[in-house]
Amino acid sequence: MSCGGKQIVTSEVSEIVLMTESFEFRDGAVQQTAVTLLAERAKTGDTAAFEQLIIWYQRKVVATAWRMLGNEEDAKDAAQETFLKAYKYLKSYDSRQDFSGWLYRITVNACRDLARKRQSREQFSSFEAEQEAGRFDHLRSPEDVEAAAIAAQERRLITEALQTLTEKERAAIVLRDLEGLPTDEVAKILGSSQTTVRSQVSMARAKIKAFRDRVLSRRKLL
């Protein structure tokens, strides 16, 4: 019977997935309903439902973690830690709250923990590191490789700029400017007031501009 029960559960998960595919996933109401249904199923121990949540959110979580930490390996570890913590504390998740915000909060905390543990590690992804990881293997022409190298260089610069910020400023600007969340939601995720978030974001933008000015003046000299 347990096997039959599992089949029923699985079919329900696939029904939820079909429901979201039939609509535009960006439709907030449909997305929220589907996520809530899956989270409720995952709470009861349905791993298929949790797997579907991973599929939907893994890109978002990895992107945030990468922007916070600056390299792929740490981003992967942080994302893994985020999903494991999410599964562990799923029982404390209230279906009325936004699952995405709840997951962002876990992601930010996981990144902070990991950053403290691995302060000694090389912090930024370089072109060479990406090349070693086989990121440019699919590129055929030398022009493509050159363009990829320039993009990697620019990526590294922006990552360096983000690393000049404090931990809280970085989290605030990543969520507000790069993830595009509204200030009140960022405040909820970071557990601080909107005024504090505005202040952190303002400071972060000014620092990033100062960093970019330095880079531009160095290029002019060269």
Residue 100's nearest CA partner among 36, 169, 174 is: 36
User: What is the spatial distance between Cα 52 and Cα 121, in angstroms, rounded to a whole number?
Assistant: 33
Binding site for another protein (CB under 8 A): 47, 50-51, 54-55, 58-59, 62-63, 66-67, 72, 76, 79-80, 83-84, 87, 125, 130, 135, 151-152, 154-155, 158-159, 161, 173, 176-178, 183, 198, 201-203, 205-206, 208-209, 212-213
* Nearer to another protein (CB atom), residue 27 or residue 113: 113
Output the smallest distance, CB 193 to another protein, in A: 14
Output the smallest distance, CB 51 to another protein, in A: 6
* Nearer to another protein (CB atom), residue 30 or residue 178: 178
* Nearer to another protein (CB atom), residue 33 or residue 63: 63
Q: What is the largest CA-CA distance in the chain?
A: 74
Q: Give residue 147's Cα distance to chain centre.
A: 25
The amino acid at residue 188 is K
139: enclosing H helix or E strand: none
User: What is the spatial distance between Cα 74 and Cα 111, in angstroms, rounded to a whole number?
Assistant: 8
Output the smallest distance, CB 158 to another protein, in A: 4
* Nearer to another protein (CB atom), residue 108 or residue 204: 204
Neighbours of 73 (CB within 10 A): 14
Output the smallest distance, CB 207 to another protein, in A: 9
